[in-house]
Amino acid sequence: MPINTLNTAVLFQQQLDLVAVQNALTGWMDANAGQVKYSGGAEVKIPKMALQGMANYDRDNGYTQGAVTLEYETRKMTQDRGRLFTLDAMDVDETNFIVTASSVMGEFTRQFVVPEIDAYRLSKLIATAIKLGKNVVYGYTPAESTILKEIKKGIAAIRDAGYNGELVIHMTSTAKLELEMALAGKITDVTFSHAGIDTTVPSVDKCPIIETPQNRMYSAITLYDGKTSGQEEGGYTKGASALEANFIILPRITPIAVTKQDVMRIFDPMTNQKANGWQMDYRRFHDLWTLDNKEKSIYVNIKDAKPAE
């Protein structure tokens, strides 16, 4: 009996969305998109609220009128990425297509989609801090004797800027190793939750530390288009003049991240006009934004020296 490719596509789409958010080290940022309006395509609407401060109370005239403005700002997801995969009909029949396709698309999401989303998001945060010119330390090589002090300096800088809520730290394995040596037997674990999963991670001053591969901690990345000579493999690489961060500290509420998979299409071998095989079209929109009034809440410690101006 032929499988219902429409239902299969919907099933894959839901599962791959879940895999993308749960496996992404930056998946916790998606929670801030709860108030974002999305109705398909590449555009989203982000709410912006403006209030006025406290005023004196007058015993005769009562309260002083205040103003509140709520408007939605339209933003466009700049990252429009995808791939087409074909499974030969001779290798995959109707009875095992779902199992095989699930394995292929699940591995593709974990190995390529998730790292690229992480790298893009973190590069935007690093670039935002560098552009602002505040809360950035250059030329630091992680060392057991100084790493804890550097982290605490970052936390203090964000607290002094008025952000007293939960902070999150993304840190390379090299920096984390030096921290573990500095706090041997004394490091404290906390529970970090995102996408319905609770994970125990190390912390400093109750700020969870998310160990992040160095190749996702660049200030800029170059995306391969999958067609140009030398870029056929797709994915991303370190930007030509990119800097490498040791760690990033920011409030949990600062980044607004959105990742949406377009309607996944599956064509059976009889419908596919290009080849005698199952064709799967995968497309994903995603992006990250930081509202203007929260840009100063990002602290970045960079391994490289500050570039000459």
The DSSP code sequence of 196-253 is: TEEEEEEEETTEEEEE--GGG-BS-EEE--SSSTT-TT-SEEE-TT--BEEEEEEETT
Are 282 and 84 in contact, with CB atoms under 8 Å apart?
yes
What average pLDDT score do residues 69-79 get?
Answer: 84
CA dihedral 102, 105, 111, 113 (to 10 degrees): -140
Top pLDDT among 141 and 111 is at 141
pLDDT band, residue 215 (cuts 50/70/90): very high
pLDDT in tens, 156-198: 999 999 999 999 999 999 999 999 999 998 889 999 987 677 8
236/47: higher pLDDT: 236
Q: Is the pLDDT of residue 241 over 90?
A: yes
Tens of pLDDT, residue by residue over 86-137, are 777 777 766 566 657 777 777 888 889 999 999 999 999 999 999 998 899 9
CATH architecture of residue range(s) 5-302: Alpha-Beta Complex (3.90)
Closest CA to 249 of 204, 188, 200: 204
Confidence of residue 52 (pLDDT cuts 50, 70, 90): confident
Q: Are 246 and 129 in contact (CB under 8 A)?
A: no
Mean pLDDT of 208-234: 96
| Tally of CB atoms within 10 A around 135 | 22
> Which span out of 65-74, 257-266, 272-281 was modeled with the highest average pLDDT?
65-74
CB 299 within 8 A of CB 157: yes
Q: Note the helical H segments in the chain.
A: 5-23, 97-108, 114-132, 147-160, 173-182
| Of residues 98 and 199, more confidently modeled | 199
Contact criterion met (CB below 8 Å) for 210 and 201: yes
pLDDT at 9 over 70: no
pLDDT value of position 93:
65
Q: Which of 83-87, 178-182, 203-207, 302-306 has the lowest mean pLDDT?
A: 83-87
Whole-number average pLDDT of the chain = 86
0.75 surpassed by pTM = yes
Judged by DSSP in three states, 47 sits in: strand
Position of tokens 């999401």?
A: 109
Closest CA to 172 of 212, 209, 112, 132: 212
Q: Percentage of residues in the chain with pLDDT exceeding 90?
A: 51
pLDDT beyond 80 at 7: no
Per residue in 223-236, pLDDT (tens digit) is: 999 999 999 999 99
